[in-house]
Amino acid sequence: MTLLTEDLALALRAADVADGLSLPGFQRRRFTVERKADKSEVTELDRSTESAVSEVLRNERPDYSLYGEEHGVVGPTDAAFQWVIDPIDGTSNFVRGVPVWATLIALVHEGEPVLGVVSAPALGMRWWAARGLGAHYGTFDTSQQIHVSEVGELRRASASITVTESWHAANKTQQLDSLQRNVGRLRNYGDFWQHMLVAQGAVDFAIDAIGLGPYDIAAIAAIVTEAGGTWTNRHGDGEWRSDSLITSNGRLHGAVLGALGSDR
């Protein structure tokens, strides 16, 4: 068994622990909600879930560092490997009782995401991947390898586009309006889910909101890559420390960036 295979098994165990905390809390609907400095919501379950995941990962890999949304960086600052954790991606959904939220766990090696787990227990869905091991999707009872679609024309594409004020502030309203009118099917699945649907081949490209954090991107990047897709920020850069994310089946990526008026 390779080290990356062992790391993936560890990340999946950590996701089990996360699900065991977050799902009962979501179902009981009893938790505190606060506002962070950026006005985004955070619950006590965000923090406790990250702490539990961090404990599992750090106990097994003390020589790796860990970067979490809620508690920042812990562990050796010069580590070649770093776990990147979003304990609850989709906290606003979580707070309102919408089941579209997930724990995101990534492993970054020397600046590149090489492993990702996205676990959405309220949906009964999980996605995972590691470099050279393929991308996979599972429910409670099934597991299968997944691949992106082969659609090569925008007019035939199924798209998920998250249009927020951040895109209007970036002066991209006209470009987004045009792009939305020129695809075959348009929905907004939002957050992690739209990108996992790209990895599964159910959606051909997804455009997220501007204002993401690195912990929103790293796990998704690893899974989409192993599924045969492409991911970049809105400028066309494959940088997980970005504030935006576009995923696609690869065939459509240049056309999407071009439609948005990207520099690339």
Query: Quick one: 129 and 180 in the same domain?
Result: no
Per the structure, the count of domains in the chain is 2
pLDDT of residue 38: 63
pLDDT of residue 29: 84
Domain with residue 131: its CATH number is 3.30.540.10
Give the Å distances, CA to CA, from 129 to 100, 118, 126, 158, 218.
20, 9, 11, 23, 12
Assess contact for 119 and 126: CB atoms under 8 A.
yes
Query: Quick one: 118 and 164 in the same domain?
Result: no
Which one of 101, 118, 146 terminates a domain? 146
Query: Quick one: 105 and 210 in the same domain?
Result: no
Query: Quick one: 139 and 170 in the same domain?
Result: no
Q: Mean pLDDT in runs of 10 for the chain (264 residues)? A: 89 96 90 71 84 96 93 90 95 92 97 97 97 91 92 97 91 93 94 97 97 96 98 96 97 96 62
Domain that holds residue 35: 3-146
Query: Quick one: 125 and 41 in the same domain?
Result: yes
Name residue, tokens 């459509």: 252
pLDDT of residue 104: 98
pLDDT of residue 264: 46
pTM greater than 0.75 (yes/no):
yes
